[in-house]
A and B are shown apart, each in its own frame.
Chain A
Amino acid sequence: MAWTAAVQREGARSRRRRRVRLPWQLGFLAPAMLFLAAASIYPLVQLVRMSLSDVTPETIAGHWPFVGLRQLKAVFVNDQFSQSLTNTAIYTLVVLLVALVGGLIVALGLSRRGRLSKTTTTVMLAVWLAPPIASGLMWKFLLSSDGAINSVLGQLGIARRPIEFLVTGRLPLLSVALVNAWIVVPFAAIVLRSALLDVPRDILEQADVDGANGRQRLQHIVLPILRPALLVLGSLIVVYAFKSFDFIYVMTGGGPGTSSSTLPFLGWKLSFVAYQYGQGAAVAVIAMIIVSLFSIFYVRSVKDEVQA
């Protein structure tokens, strides 16, 4: 009978309505949500507004003249922007490859228990957690024209003239990227070492019996099992490299010119060194869009790994 079903449905609905009240979780969530709305979301809306307005030191305190997409268009034809965009790609790629390969090698090396393994892990993690400004300065000293590495190369007679790691050409960008990779390898190694524990021992032993060599075991057994972990780790590293500020600021200041600036760094430099807030905001908005696109990929890879 149709009407009894309808009555039952109505009854269920009103019962549900009666029960509908704010979930208790909201009370716990609200302080953080309100704070982030004020301290993070609202500023990001302002950032977008800024990128559409002509904001200079004269106008920042008052009314921002709206200029539409003019600033974003100006940014796109700016040489500094296109160079920083290329730099960002190179920088991120170098950090990603070196950190993943280095991390995997270290993780494989550290998978034995023992005192040496423990000491190495401790030293590596201490370096990873030390303030980036301290390790950045250290590398600035090691790599400077009259610094330690050039001194060693000179004394060994390998380089007659000092190598300008941080001063001219493409080298500064690569040097900073390598230092950044150096600081990420410990993290990658720790993550991959715990992922390696998932590789079933009996399969490896069986492969051994079947005569597989180390490379074959790595390629056909270990890497496929590590795939999900590598995916999540890889996306974390990409984001980390993209966000990089400390090492660039300390070691090269993004220079010479913009030859070692990445996109987020350029946005900051335009805003707080050149005081072109509008231009800086436009670059930052583009960086934000790239991050948002990337976060979709990231969320998906995390979800896959959790399900796997």
Chain B
Amino acid sequence: MSSVSRRAGLPARIVMLATLAIYGVPGLFMVMTSLRTNSEVYAKAFDFHFRPTLKAYQAVGDYDVTAAVWSSVRITGLTTLLVLALGVPAAYALARMVGRLRSVGLASLILLQLLPASTLVIPLYQVLRSLGLLGSVQGVIFACTAYYLPFAVILLRPFFLGVPVDIENAALIDGASRARIFWQIVLPLARNGVVTVGVLVAMIVWGDFLFALTLLVNPSDYPLSTLLAQQVSDFGINWPRLMALAIVAAAPIVALFLAMERRLSAGLSVGGVK
């Protein structure tokens, strides 16, 4: 591994420790706060001398957490499935195309991906209303799929570019259909990429609250992320309880990341910037 600061051992070490602190300490602090009581936190927000208690986590049960988790699971699961079902064939097609149609396709996907979600949701609100899907979880899934599909296709395409065309041509000569080639040859070879992008999309959708906040009418349908976002407007925030809820919402994502770290970082460097 070539490196610029190969000899600069100490500065590199300092940078690493500082980075570790800047990213680790706030999280530790969050965990610490979730283990205290509200009155303690209001008296002194930063204090190491306290007796840890799980009260805040018990208080999380005051919210309808089960319903929120179920809503999160439905939205995340179905959106990811839909995004992959539509996005995987499209990414494969774009990886096997040349010429103007490909350029136009890619450019429009990039443009759609660059649009702010807060912009797209304004007309989607009206479109879903006319379809009678406003206020339903299906409507949120529709909106999330529309918003994250371009992103997924752009990330997936490089994985299909990596599948050698020669294998496909050989199969064609043997009389295999395009659909069969895709299912039996291409997809298994690009499986890692599909899993990586699927996990990434699921992680992002799990944390997304804008679409559910805007498109759902009944707070009892809210997914976990939106339930969390909604607490912000509360006057006189109960910080330990809120931090506990935030940790509950973030835990599955962080756990999933830790379980798949190697695969995700390898996948990101393929799909990465290009």
Q: Is B44 an interface residue (CB 8 A)?
A: yes
- B138 CB to nearest A CB, Å: 12
Considering the complex, which residues of chain A in the window 128-149 have a beta carbon less than 8 Å from any beta carbon of chain B?
129-135, 137-142, 146-148
When the two chains form their complex, are residues B126 and A46 in contact, meaning their CB atoms are under 8 A apart?
yes
Of listed A23, A133, A233, A302, residue having the most chain B CB within 10 A? A133
- B260 CB to nearest A CB, Å: 10
| Chain A facing B: main interface SS | helix
| Chain B facing A: main interface SS | helix
When the two chains form their complex, are residues B2 and A204 in contact, meaning their CB atoms are under 8 A apart?
yes
When the two chains form their complex, are residues B243 and A108 in contact, meaning their CB atoms are under 8 A apart?
no
When the two chains form their complex, are residues B246 and A137 in contact, meaning their CB atoms are under 8 A apart?
yes
In angstroms, Cα B182 to Cα A32, docked, is: 16
Hey, which chain A residues are within 8 Å of B117, CB to CB? 243, 245
Considering the complex, which residues of chain B in the window 79-131 have a beta carbon less than 8 Å from any beta carbon of chain A?
85-87, 89-90, 92-94, 96-97, 101, 105, 107, 110-112, 114-127, 129
Q: Is B173 an interface residue (CB 8 A)?
A: no
Q: Considering the complex, give the chain B residue whose CB is closest to the CB of A202.
A: B2
Q: Is A91 an interface residue (CB 8 A)?
A: no
When the two chains form their complex, are residues A133 and B207 in contact, meaning their CB atoms are under 8 A apart?
yes
Q: Is B229 an interface residue (CB 8 A)?
A: yes
Hey, which chain A residues are within 8 Å of B121, CB to CB? 268
In angstroms, Cα B20 to Cα A272, docked, is: 39
When the two chains form their complex, are residues B90 and A31 in contact, meaning their CB atoms are under 8 A apart?
yes
Hey, which chain B residues are within 8 Å of A200, CB to CB? 2
Q: A26-B93, A109-B12, A127-B23 are in contact. Are A133 and B257 (CB under 8 A)?
A: no
Hey, which chain A residues are within 8 Å of B229, CB to CB? 133, 246, 249-250
A-B contact count, CB below 8 Å?
Answer: 304
Q: A138-B30, A250-B229 are in contact. Are A108 and B129 (CB under 8 A)?
A: no
In angstroms, Cα B203 to Cα A119, docked, is: 21
- B177 CB to nearest A CB, Å: 9
When the two chains form their complex, are residues A105 and B249 in contact, meaning their CB atoms are under 8 A apart?
no
When the two chains form their complex, are residues B207 and A196 in contact, meaning their CB atoms are under 8 A apart?
no
When the two chains form their complex, are residues B127 and A36 in contact, meaning their CB atoms are under 8 A apart?
no
Q: Which of A6-14, A65-73, A167-175, A293-301 lies at the interface with chain B?
A: A293-301
When the two chains form their complex, are residues B116 and A291 in contact, meaning their CB atoms are under 8 A apart?
yes
Hey, which chain A residues are within 8 Å of B15, CB to CB? 105-106, 108-110
Q: Considering the complex, give the chain B residue whose CB is closest to the CB of A264.
A: B116
Hey, which chain A residues are within 8 Å of B115, CB to CB? 44, 243, 288, 291
Q: Is B63 an interface residue (CB 8 A)?
A: no
When the two chains form their complex, are residues B24 and A36 in contact, meaning their CB atoms are under 8 A apart?
no
Q: Which of B53-61, B190-198, B265-273 lies at the interface with chain A?
A: B265-273
In angstroms, Cα B265 to Cα A28, docked, is: 28
- B31 CB to nearest A CB, Å: 10
Chain B 250-274 against A: per-residue CB contact (8 Å), 1 yes, 0 no? 1001100110010011001100111
Chain B 1-27 against A: per-residue CB contact (8 Å), 1 yes, 0 no? 111111011011111110110111011
When the two chains form their complex, are residues A110 and B16 in contact, meaning their CB atoms are under 8 A apart?
yes
Q: A129-B253, A134-B246, A137-B246 are in contact. Are A35 and B46 (CB under 8 A)?
A: no
Q: Is A112 an interface residue (CB 8 A)?
A: yes
Q: Is A25 an interface residue (CB 8 A)?
A: yes
Q: A113-B1, A272-B214 are in contact. Are A239 and B19 (CB under 8 A)?
A: no
Contact residue among B89, B228, B247, B272 (Cβ-Cβ distance under 8 Å from A133): B228
Show 18 A/B contacts (Cβ-Cβ < 8 Å), sorted by A.
Answer: A23-B97, A31-B89, A108-B5, A109-B12, A111-B5, A125-B265, A130-B253, A133-B209, A134-B228, A141-B45, A150-B45, A229-B273, A232-B273, A243-B116, A280-B122, A284-B118, A284-B119, A291-B114
B residues within 8 Å of A by Cβ?
Answer: 1-6, 8-9, 11-17, 19-20, 22-24, 26-27, 29-30, 33, 42, 44-47, 85-87, 89-90, 92-94, 96-97, 101, 105, 107, 110-112, 114-127, 129, 142-143, 145-147, 149-150, 153, 178, 182, 203, 206-207, 209-210, 214, 225, 228-229, 232-233, 239, 242-243, 246-247, 249-250, 253-254, 257-258, 261, 264-265, 268-269, 272-274
In the A-B complex, the 7 residue pairs with the closest CB atoms: A109-B15, A131-B207, A39-B146, A32-B90, A28-B93, A151-B45, A111-B3
9 new A-B contacts at CB < 8 Å, known A130-B253, A197-B2, A302-B273? A36-B112, A50-B122, A129-B203, A151-B46, A222-B4, A232-B273, A236-B273, A281-B123, A295-B107
